[in-house]
Amino acid sequence: MKSRSEWVLPVLTAAMLVAALYLAFVWAPTEKTMGHVQRIFYFHVPSFFTAVVAFLVGMVAGIRFLMSRDFRFDELAVSSNEIGVIFTSVNLVTGSVWAKPIWGVWWTWDARLTSAFVLWLMYVGYLILRRSVDEPGLRGVVAAVFSIFAFVDVPIVYMSIRWWRTQHPQPVMFSTEGTLDPQMCLVLYFCLLAMLVLYLCLLQIRRRVERLRHETEGLRRLVHSA
């Protein structure tokens, strides 16, 4: 039986996602030049920022693991980074679907798209790397060091549209340059909040799975060593 506190986050997540859907599909005004497809923006942009938060948590947890060798931090790092990969996948896929009717292509190798794809590849590499090391202590150390290097790409992705000429629109979040409609801006920030709550909910579930994996691994070693 799950305790009441374990249900709070999933229920809150579901409620916020339903509200986010209503705001994005009904309440937000339709963009004049792109039409309804622009509403992808309310999932595309928050997915990226949620992935950034997930990778940041993963990196900080990795550093804490290096300092303390406490496996709870390693558990948090792998859980958060894996969820970050999921949100980056959503960002890349929704971006590609948005690009097709607007740019006429599914994909173009411009600075923003390429750096975001490299970010996704690096964190997929992180997950593969973890699977290739058997010894838990060494696995945690190697993964933590790798995640610190992988995180370097996050500011590159964010700044890529300022540093290089790209097809991608200029930033609208955490920027003073954007000229986003206030109603659209409100929906965007609400969707970001909903995605962050979804991240916390997934993190709660993923950490439970990781704890179970850790326990199983420990017992497997005990059985095979006896």
Partner 1 sequence: MEETLKWLWIGFSCAWVIHLLYVVSLGRRAKKLRDELESLKAMVEERRGK
Note whether 87 and 48 are within 8 A (CB). Answer: yes
- List alpha helices for the chain, DSSP H: 4-22, 41-68, 71-103, 111-132, 136-151, 153-163, 182-225
Smallest Cα–Cα separation from 38: which of 113, 89, 94?
94
- Binding characters for partner 1, 78-117, by CB under 8 A (x = yes): --------x--xx--xx--xx-xx----------------
Smallest Cα–Cα separation from 79: which of 211, 216, 217?
211
Residue 207 CB, nearest distance to partner 1 (Å)?
11
Residue 210 CB, nearest distance to partner 1 (Å)?
10
Kindly tell me which of 35 and 137 has the beta carbon lying closer to partner 1. Answer: 35
Please report, as residue ranges, which positions from 12 to 41 form the binding site for partner 1 (by CB under 8 A).
Answer: 34-40
Exposed/middle/buried for residue 81 (C-beta within 10 Å: 0-12, 13-18, 19+): buried
The tokens describing 208, both together, are: 């439970």
Note whether 180 and 29 are within 8 A (CB). Answer: no
Kindly tell me which of 111 and 203 has the beta carbon lying closer to partner 1. Answer: 203
- Binding characters for partner 1, 177-206, by CB under 8 A (x = yes): ---------------------x---x--xx
Q: Does 11 bind partner 1 (CB under 8 A)?
A: no
Binding site for partner 1 (CB under 8 A): 34-40, 43-44, 47, 86, 89-90, 93-94, 97-98, 100-101, 198, 202, 205-206, 208-209, 212-213, 215-216, 219-220, 222-223, 226
